[in-house]
Homo-oligomer: A and B are copies of this chain.
Amino acid sequence: MMSKKCKYAIKALICLSENYQQGNMFTADIAKKGNIPKKFLEQILLDLKHAGFVGSHQGYRGGYYLIKAPKEINLAEVYRVFDGAIALVPCVSVNYYEKCEDCTDEVSCAIKREFAKIKEQSRLIMKEINFKTFIE
């Protein structure tokens, strides 16, 4: 399962995609529209900013806006920011590789072999889904 944080992030990005190139949006409005706790959403939008998906204007009448075109943001990269690896085991992750603690021989590991296939399929489908597909 995906974390709520990640789901909220996706909802926020959908909101901002619908408003793409039409100025910024208030956190409060995104929160209301997406039914997301405002203070929690603030954190999420900051994360999205640090990750380079959104930009912000501070001060009176400030807010958030999408930097990249909706089509140029895919689900895989957003997922990774909030929930980390797409892979189900760390040893097959490209972006978050870690050796499994219990593993004695990674080369011959059947779990690694099979879960590499799963990861690759998941990665491909999540890469195909972008925020234009969400708002259509």
Contact = CB atoms under 8 A, between A and B. Distances in A.
Given A111-B10, A122-B122, A87 B134 contact: no
Nearest to A75: B114
A46 interface: no
A135 B110 contact: yes
Task: Please tell me the size bucket of the interface on A.
Answer: 35 or more
Interface in A107-136: 110-111, 114, 117-118, 121-122, 125-126, 129, 133-135
A128 to B, nearest CB: 9
A111 B135 CA distance: 10
A108 to B, nearest CB: 12
A62 interface: no
B35 A104 contact: yes
A44 to B, nearest CB: 13
B125 A121 contact: yes
Interface string A74-118: 010000000011011110000000001011100000110010011
A130 to B, nearest CB: 10
